[in-house]
Structure 1
Amino acid sequence: MRSLHFDYIIVGGGTSGLVIAHRLASETTASVLVIEAGRDAKSAPDVLVPGKYIYQLEHDKEGLWELPTEPQTQLEGRSITFLRGKQLGGSSAVNYMAMARGPADDYDEWARKTGDDRWKWQNVLPRMKAMEDFSPEPPKGYHSLADANSDNHGTGGPIKLGFGNEMTPGVTKFVEACQEVGMHICPDINSGNPVGVGLAQFNVKDGVRYYAVNAYLDEEFRARHENLRVQANTVVRRLLLQGEKVVGVVIRECGSDKDNQVFCSKDVILCAGTIASPQLLLSSGIGPKTAIDELDLQLVRNAPGVGNGMLDHSILTLEFRVKDSSVDFSRLFSDKDLLQDAERKYRKNKSGPLSVFGTSGSVAFPKIERLQQSAEFRELDQQTQAFLMHPERPSAEIWLSSGYAAYSGAVKPRQSFITFELLLQNNLSCGTVTMRNTRGAPALEINPKILDHPYDRRIAIETVRAALNISKARAYNAEIEEMVHGPRDDDDGSILDFVRKNLGQGYHGVGTCRMGPEGDQMSVVDTDFNVIGVEGVKIADLSVCPILTCNHTQINAYLIGEQCADVLIQEWQAGNVPRSGGL
Structure 2
Amino acid sequence: MDRFTSLASREFDYIICGGGTSGSLLASRLSKIPNITILLIEAGRDSSIASDVLVPGKYISQLSEDHDGLWEMPTVPQEQLNGRSLTFLRGKQIGGSSAVNYMALARGPAADYDEWAKLTGDEGWKWDNVLPLMKGLENFDPRVPEGYEKFAVPDPGSHGAGGPLAISFGEQMVPGVETFIDACKEKGIQLCLDNNAGDPVGVGLAHFNVGNGQRSYAANAFLGAEVRRKAKGLTVLTRTVCDKILFEGKKATGVELFHVPTGEKVRVDCRQEIILAAGAFGSPQLLMLSGVGPRHHLESHGIPVVADVLGVGQNALDHSVVTIEYKVRSDLPDHNRLFINPLLLAEAEARYSKDRTGPLAVFGTSGTVAFPKIKQLYESREFHALDTPTQAYLLEKTRPSAEIWLAAGPSFYANKAHPNESFVTHELLLQNNLSKGTVSLRSSNPRDLPVIDPKFLDHPFDRRIAIETVKEAVRIAQATAYDTVIEKMVHGPGKQSKVANIDVDDEVVLNFVRENLGQGYHTMATCRMGTKHDPLAVVDSEFHVVGVEGLRLADLSVCPVLTCNHTQINAYLIGEKCAKILLGMHSFRLETVESKL
Paired residue secondary structure (1:309): coil
Instruction: State the AA in 2 paired with 1:125.
Output: L
Aligned pair in 2 of structure 1 residues 490, 410: CA closer, same or farther (>3 Å)?
farther
Structure 1 Cα separation of the partners of residues 546 and 419 of structure 2: 60
1:390 maps onto 2:396 in alignment: yes
1:423 maps onto 2:423 in alignment: no
Select the residue among 510, 534, 538 that pairs with 2:524. Answer: 510
1:476 maps onto 2:476 in alignment: no
The alpha carbon displacement at 1:568 in A equals: 1.2
CA deviation profile, 1:399-437 (whole Å, cap 9, x unmatched): 000000100256434210000000000000000000134
Select the residue among 486, 509, 517 that pairs with 2:492. Answer: 486
Provide structure 1 residue ranges, at least 5 long, that are not aligned to the other structure.
Answer: 576-583
Select the residue among 60, 71, 75 that pairs with 2:77. Answer: 71
Structure 2 contact 73–449 (Cα < 8 Å) conserved = no
The alpha carbon displacement at 1:468 in A equals: 0.3
Structure 1 Cα separation of the partners of residues 306 and 137 of structure 2: 38
Instruction: State the AA in 2 paired with 1:407.
Output: Y
Structure 1 contact 397–423 (Cα < 8 Å) conserved = yes
CA deviation profile, 1:205-261 (whole Å, cap 9, x unmatched): 121100001111111110111101100000110101111111010001112233210
Structure 2 contact 524–556 (Cα < 8 Å) conserved = yes
Partner of 2:17: 11
Partner of 1:448: 454
Structure 2 contact 438–526 (Cα < 8 Å) conserved = yes
1:118 maps onto 2:124 in alignment: yes
CA deviation profile, 1:86-125 (whole Å, cap 9, x unmatched): 0000000000001000000000000000000110000001
Structure 1 contact 69–448 (Cα < 8 Å) conserved = yes
Select the residue among 159, 174, 187 that pairs with 2:165. Answer: 159
Instruction: State the AA in 1 paired with 2:400.
Output: P
1:55 maps onto 2:61 in alignment: yes
1:456-475 correspondence to structure 2 within 5 Å: 456-475=462-481
Instruction: State the AA in 1 paired with 2:491.
Output: H
Select the residue among 291, 302, 305 that pairs with 1:285. Answer: 291
Select the residue among 250, 255, 266 that pairs with 1:249. Answer: 255
How large is the Cα RMSD of the aligned pairs?
Answer: 1.4
1:201 maps onto 2:207 in alignment: yes
Partner of 1:531: 545
1:324-473 correspondence to structure 2 within 5 Å: 324-408=330-414, 411-437=417-443, 444-473=450-479
The alpha carbon displacement at 1:333 in A equals: 1.1
Structure 2 contact 293–309 (Cα < 8 Å) conserved = yes
Structure 1 Cα separation of the partners of residues 194 and 274 of structure 2: 39
Paired residue secondary structure (1:197): strand
The alpha carbon displacement at 1:482 in A equals: 0.7
Partner of 2:498: none
Could you list the runs of 4 or more consecutive aligned residues of structure 1 that deviate by over 6 angstroms after TM superposition?
Answer: 438-442
Partner of 2:42: 36
1:180-195 correspondence to structure 2 within 5 Å: 180-195=186-201
Structure 2 contact 281–450 (Cα < 8 Å) conserved = no
| Stretch of structure 1 that moved more, 195-204 or 512-521 | 512-521
1:572 maps onto 2:572 in alignment: no
| Stretch of structure 1 that moved more, 405-414 or 70-79 | 405-414
The alpha carbon displacement at 1:11 in A equals: 0.4
Partner of 1:580: none
Structure 2 Cα separation of the partners of residues 359 and 172 of structure 1: 16
Instruction: Report how many aligned residue pairs link the two structures.
Output: 575
Aligned pair in 2 of structure 1 residues 99, 442: CA closer, same or farther (>3 Å)?
closer
Structure 1 contact 294–436 (Cα < 8 Å) conserved = no
Partner of 1:542: 556
1:45 maps onto 2:55 in alignment: no
Structure 1 Cα separation of the partners of residues 126 and 78 of structure 2: 35
Instruction: State the AA in 2 paired with 1:111.
Output: A
| Stretch of structure 1 that moved more, 430-439 or 358-367 | 430-439
What TM-score comes out, normalization by structure 2 length?
Answer: 0.95
Structure 1 contact 164–206 (Cα < 8 Å) conserved = no
Fraction of identical pairs, as percent: 54
Partner of 2:321: 315
CA deviation profile, 1:138-158 (whole Å, cap 9, x unmatched): 111000001001111011010
Provide structure 2 residue ranges, at least 5 long, that are not aligned to the other structure.
Answer: 495-502, 590-597
| Stretch of structure 1 that moved more, 412-421 or 474-483 | 412-421
Structure 2 Cα separation of the partners of residues 232 and 271 of structure 1: 14
CA deviation profile, 1:311-364 (whole Å, cap 9, x unmatched): 000011000000151321111111111111100100000000000000000000
Structure 2 Cα separation of the partners of residues 548 and 557 of structure 1: 13
Partner of 2:595: none
1:173 maps onto 2:179 in alignment: yes
Structure 1 contact 461–496 (Cα < 8 Å) conserved = yes
Partner of 1:80: 86
Structure 1 Cα separation of the partners of residues 534 and 416 of structure 2: 55
Structure 2 Cα separation of the partners of residues 57 and 472 of structure 1: 31
Aligned pair in 2 of structure 1 residues 495, 515: CA closer, same or farther (>3 Å)?
same
Structure 2 Cα separation of the partners of residues 448 and 127 of structure 1: 31
Instruction: State the AA in 2 paired with 1:519.
Output: H
Structure 1 Cα separation of the partners of residues 415 and 133 of structure 2: 47
| Stretch of structure 1 that moved more, 275-284 or 443-452 | 443-452
1:520 maps onto 2:534 in alignment: yes
Partner of 1:133: 139
What TM-score comes out, normalization by structure 1 length?
Answer: 0.97
Paired residue secondary structure (2:219): helix
Paired residue secondary structure (1:436): coil
1:297 maps onto 2:303 in alignment: yes
1:224 maps onto 2:238 in alignment: no
Structure 2 contact 527–557 (Cα < 8 Å) conserved = yes
Instruction: State the AA in 2 paired with 1:261.
Output: R
Paired residue secondary structure (1:147): coil
Structure 1 contact 28–572 (Cα < 8 Å) conserved = no
CA deviation profile, 1:29-59 (whole Å, cap 9, x unmatched): 3101100000000211110000000110000
Structure 2 Cα separation of the partners of residues 384 and 417 of structure 1: 38
Instruction: State the AA in 2 paired with 1:547.
Output: V
Partner of 1:496: 510
The alpha carbon displacement at 1:63 in A equals: 0.2
Structure 1 contact 294–437 (Cα < 8 Å) conserved = no
